Structure 1
Amino acid sequence: MRILPAGDGALLLELPDLAQTLALYRALQATPVDGVRELVPAARTLLLHYRRERTTAQTLARAVRTVAATLEDQAQPAPPPDRRVQIAVHYDGEDLAELAEHLGLTARELVQRHCAQPWQAAFAGFAPGFVYLTGGDDCFARVPRRKTPRTRVPAGSVALAGGFSAVYPKASPGGWQLIGRTEAVMWDTARPEPALVQPGFEVCFVEAGRVGVALGGPSPRPSPQRGEGAPRATATGVSLPLPLGEGRGEGLPEEHKPNPKQTIARQALTAIEIVNTGLQTLMQDQGRHGLAGLGISASGALDLAAMRQANQLVGNPPDAPVLEHLLGGLQLRAHGRVTLALAGADMPLTLQALDGRRWPLANHAALALDDGDVLTVAAPRAGVRGYLAVRGGWQMAPELGSCARDTLAEIGPAALQPGQRLAVGRAIAAQRLSACAPAQAPRTELPRPGDEVVLNVLLGPRTDWFTPEAVALLQAQAWRVTPQSNRVGMRLMGAEPLTRSRHDELPSEGTAVGAIQVPASGQPVLFLADHPLTGGYPVIAVVASHHLGLAAQIPVGCSLRFRAIAPFEEIHE
């Protein structure tokens, strides 16, 4: 087992094969190691996120090797499946005929082999509901990825690549070979268990029209279809559907009929109306951790320090949800008296009172708005993302334990829309509120368009996949931030691409926030909070955690330079 650094808060454990990887994964779940925050299993690796305040890389490596040593002299049979799931497939995929010819089979023989034996759900990745299935016919080990990935693979596509099978849970880019399609919904947050297939499950594929074969195990509990009793996420919470006549209370017991006085009181609650959202305004918090087994990354605010500062200014707990706003244009109207604060990017603020008077306000300070006041956020003078907190909190329904909007996985409250009204002030218990903090000056290091920004990085975990000249070039060359950048990652462009010393295919493995992944083009991508949980391109370095907030504030058109503050070295206890 090799133990490789993956930034200053994660280790990548490289093992010989999938069986040993899953055996160690199960052992670490059964015997938790102090300080480990999350485990991300993949084809031949485990990514361990750890808490730096509780352990070190060397201490963690020593503990992991101790656990691994207990497995070396023992046979590790796979545990029985947690559950068996049957998936009906229409075998009419675009790549079916060509792939069958590549394998020396007829299309009918390929379908028969795909259905002949159960598959085991090994690990999740790429997107929620996308689970890598292993254990199929040996011939599927020879299935390559497509040389040119498709820009859009339809949801429900059944695919093969590198010995794995999977079902695409939603429409997305993809490079696997498509052999069929299913109507099964792989991911639905309206279900008690959103993922139809989870690691540890057994999956049986059957041809559509032959469903109903007894599998000898419990099936997932069916969930209501949307519109048939499923809860609906709304801007201010989760609304449960009512019988027909809900507006007047017909058909309801007397004690459940609407009370006109209560209805008036609800309408009078303090709220903030979204007049204009600007380019993008999302609800964010510290993210959802511990869901790697479902293929869900943490997401959360890109500039966590700015989020905490905004909450501190209004007296909220530091982890309270905030609005993350991009590049100005946000306009809010107060309904009732509210106290709010904007931190992060240096964005000019203007207040317009109900009588039409206007005056500028300072950001990075608590601001009191009266009923009818309109606050306008202008384009930033420095930085790109502002974080807006309101005293008492935004009343927003969490999804999977968090209010963070994951733009890649499409989990969490949707982007805000003009005309939306959010209840505020009562989401946080009064005893958890403190006094508002004094005004603070904007951060001086925030970049402006055209600036050159230096980010500290730690080399690894795949630095040895690149030539020494490429490792030197990573630091010597300026990299331009292109417009193809968002919360998933920043696409960078340099005069010279980074060249590899190895050209074989890297099995998918977990990636950390701040990872600098290098695709075949040699032009790197800097992963941000909404990045895929796993990736198939080598990561040459990872941005230091103390510079992640700065990375989130870099405008398009800036130049980046990377400064390595730690060499690439395998970790030994």
Structure 2
Amino acid sequence: MVSALLRPMGERAVLAEVESLADVLALSAALHASRPRGVVDVVPAARTVLVTFDPGVVPGSVVRAWIRSAGADAAAAARPAGPVVEVPIRYDGPDLAETADLLGMSAAELVARHRGAQWSVAFSGFAPGFGYLVSPQWAFDVPRLASPRTRVPAGAVGLAGAFSGAYPRETPGGWRLIGTTDAPLFDASADVPVLLPPGARVRFVPASPVRGETPLSVRDTGRRRVSQSESGVSAEGGLRVVEPGLLATVQDLGRPGHAALGIAGSGALDRAALRRANRLVGNAEGAAGVEITMGGFRAVAGRDGWMAVAGATGPITIGGHSVDPHTAVPWPAGAELHVGPFASGARAYLAVRGGIDVAPVAGSRATDVLAGIGPAPLRAGDMLAIGPAPAAPVPAADLAPWGAAADERIEVELAPGPRTDWFAASASRALFEEEWTVSAAADRVGMRLDGTELERVRGGELPSEGMIPGALQVPPSGRPTILLADGPVTGGYPVIAVATEAALNALAQARPGTRVRFRHARPLP
């Protein structure tokens, strides 16, 4: 039996806190063995399991009862053995000698112990393909660097706490680096993009194997590249980007259900606006469109079609003639669409009839700017394919109400977060009574707010735990950051509250300088 303390994580998630990593693995296995409809993700971490769900399918009370029931049966749930993957390594890391000295051994002994241990992936996080490896033969607690590196190269193998891990891509990091691997830890073009999923058993082997031996290689793990021809995507008759503006990306409703592999949901920041634009041209609501940031976007159509722009508002012209936002408009072949600088709001969504047709990754065409998944941000000259037009005609009108996005001040509903006990009572008062300002540090990953410092009553580090869009993380500076669609799936800063899904649409339209007032969310029915 595993006893779990259930903590709220907004409206759509529950954080189950347990005593040890062994309890995390047992509870996670029990949850996976009996997963009900409506549960989106089960994300194990160092001392917690995050369960996200769709409250329109399964109520939160049912989810909490299910977690408790699974905890009662967790001792009997055996985690299925994962694949055995041999990872080639060169022990050439810049921290090898210093780390060995910290552990009271020689560098050669550290290498022998690391290579001789039988590792397994306890959980994923931080970045897609980053597996937290544990081993019963590894009993060391390795302190992180006092000052994290701003750049850790892809393939670096490191140690931190009781874990070992390898960086799938270049990123900042505070782990002590002891080696390098050339293994493709994450390959977005493969049908199995993550080399080391939770449960995989890992052996570190020399990067140059002895002649005559044939170790299990990464080619034996079922990973297969998906070619452009296999994807069926062709840009003929599509759109040609003339000018992307500040930032333009392809977005749909994202890739939920992959957080346990370190893959964020991503997708449109203002999901309501993307849905509205798609409805206007007769697409399915989840069809891929173009998310345009602050305007300045220009593109030319390769064939006759229809388009609509929803969300932020500004001047829109086709072939030099003004057209209205939130309206389906014909777009003739060869005509240039110009979405000018926005007068209100920060992000608009261009939907074209048939949808933007790029090769999907993990079931989605969305661009994740943090993880580098999906198509790259658009550049001048890029060609975008358009899918087949829907069978139904363009609707006569869309009945959903819309209005201009607020720039000066917005109200945001917050649901309870899991770590309110880390903060003084004055922090909760300040959060809801003070006015906050969106800082210039705001993008698809997160939005930093300027305002009163939120006082902690607990210091130290929080072991990494699952995160969701809308989570208000509070770093030691006391200034909260709201995670958005491309934010990391795990994090180590305490979450004091979580913005509701409806509030995320409003936050997507907030520019730097927008003032924010928080209020308590009404409970879901």
Deviations 1:59-100 (A, max 9, x none): 22112211211235x4x5554x32111122221222222222
CA 1:360–1:63 in 2, change beyond 3 Å: closer, same or farther?
Answer: same
State the AA in 2 paired with 1:123.
Answer: F
Q: Which residue matches 2:23?
A: 20
Q: Which residue matches 1:447?
A: 406
Q: Which residue matches 1:194?
A: 193
User: Contact between 2:29 and 2:79, CA under 8 Å: does it hold in 1?
Assistant: no
Return the TM-score normalized by structure 2: 0.92
Counterpart Cα distance in 2 of 1:11 and 1:322: 31
State the AA in 1 paired with 2:397.
Answer: A
Q: Which residue matches 1:459?
A: 416
CA 1:66–1:224 in 2, change beyond 3 Å: closer, same or farther?
Answer: closer
Q: Which residue matches 2:391?
A: 430
1:208 Cα deviation after fit: 3.6
CA 1:166–1:215 in 2, change beyond 3 Å: closer, same or farther?
Answer: farther
Give matches, 1:236-251, under 5 Å. Answer: none
Counterpart Cα distance in 2 of 1:191 and 1:273: 27
Over the matched positions of the two proteins, sequence identity in percent amounts to: 42
Q: 1:312 aligns with which of 256, 260, 279?
A: 279
Report the 3-state secondary structure (helix = DSSP H, G, I; strand = E; otherwise coil) of the residue aligned with 2:462: coil
Q: Which deviates more from structure 2 when the two are superposed, residues 368-377 or residues 545-554? A: 368-377
User: Contact between 2:302 and 2:333, CA under 8 Å: does it hold in 1?
Assistant: yes
Counterpart Cα distance in 1 of 2:183 and 2:210: 12
1:410 Cα deviation after fit: 0.9
Counterpart Cα distance in 1 of 2:519 and 2:20: 34
State the AA in 1 paired with 2:282.
Answer: G
1:366 aligns with 2:322: no
State the AA in 2 paired with 1:443.
Answer: G
Report the 3-state secondary structure (helix = DSSP H, G, I; strand = E; otherwise coil) of the residue aligned with 1:61: helix
Give matches, 1:136-535, under 5 Å. Answer: 136-140=136-140, 142-210=141-209, 220-221=219-220, 231-233=226-228, 270-352=237-319, 358-424=320-386, 426-431=387-392, 435-438=395-398, 442-444=402-404, 446-448=405-407, 451-494=408-451, 496-535=452-491
Deviations 1:437-486 (A, max 9, x none): 25877524x122xx132211112111111111222222233322222211
1:202 Cα deviation after fit: 0.8
Greater C-alpha radius of gyration:
1
CA 1:307–1:15 in 2, change beyond 3 Å: closer, same or farther?
Answer: same
Q: Which residue matches 1:251?
A: none
1:219 Cα deviation after fit: 6.2
CA 1:406–1:303 in 2, change beyond 3 Å: closer, same or farther?
Answer: same
Q: 1:3 aligns with which of 3, 6, 18?
A: 6
Counterpart Cα distance in 2 of 1:19 and 1:468: 34
CA 1:436–1:285 in 2, change beyond 3 Å: closer, same or farther?
Answer: farther
Counterpart Cα distance in 2 of 1:419 and 1:198: 37
Counterpart Cα distance in 2 of 1:17 and 1:124: 16
Return the TM-score normalized by structure 1: 0.85
Report the 3-state secondary structure (helix = DSSP H, G, I; strand = E; otherwise coil) of the residue aligned with 1:430: coil
State the AA in 1 paired with 2:484.
Answer: L
CA 1:233–1:550 in 2, change beyond 3 Å: closer, same or farther?
Answer: farther
Q: Which residue matches 1:60?
A: 63
Deviations 1:300-327 (A, max 9, x none): 1111100010011111111111111101
Deviations 1:261-319 (A, max 9, x none): xxxxx99x643221111111111111112222321111111111000100111111111
Q: How many residues align?
A: 520
1:217 Cα deviation after fit: 7.5
Q: Which deviates more from structure 2 when the two are superposed, residues 300-309 or residues 95-104? A: 95-104
1:561 Cα deviation after fit: 2.5
User: Contact between 1:131 and 1:197, CA under 8 Å: does it hold in 2?
Assistant: yes
1:35 Cα deviation after fit: 2.6
Note the aligned Cα RMSD (angstroms): 2.6
Q: Which residue matches 1:258?
A: none
Report the 3-state secondary structure (helix = DSSP H, G, I; strand = E; otherwise coil) of the residue aligned with 1:130: strand
1:201 Cα deviation after fit: 1.0
State the AA in 2 paired with 1:366.
Answer: A
1:372 Cα deviation after fit: 2.5
1:429 Cα deviation after fit: 4.2
Q: Which residue matches 1:37?
A: 40
1:136 Cα deviation after fit: 5.0
Counterpart Cα distance in 2 of 1:299 and 1:480: 24
CA 1:87–1:395 in 2, change beyond 3 Å: closer, same or farther?
Answer: closer
User: Contact between 1:364 and 1:439, CA under 8 Å: does it hold in 2?
Assistant: no
Q: Which residue matches 1:250?
A: none
Counterpart Cα distance in 2 of 1:215 and 1:47: 39
1:105 Cα deviation after fit: 1.7
Q: Which residue matches 2:125?
A: 125
Unpaired runs of 5+ in structure 2?
Answer: none
Counterpart Cα distance in 2 of 1:441 and 1:57: 29
Counterpart Cα distance in 2 of 1:560 and 1:362: 29
Counterpart Cα distance in 2 of 1:566 and 1:98: 53
1:101 aligns with 2:101: yes
User: Contact between 1:455 and 1:561, CA under 8 Å: does it hold in 2?
Assistant: yes
Deviations 1:335-370 (A, max 9, x none): 332110000001211232xxxxx3322111111122
Counterpart Cα distance in 2 of 1:506 and 1:467: 17
Counterpart Cα distance in 1 of 2:522 and 2:332: 51
1:34 Cα deviation after fit: 3.9
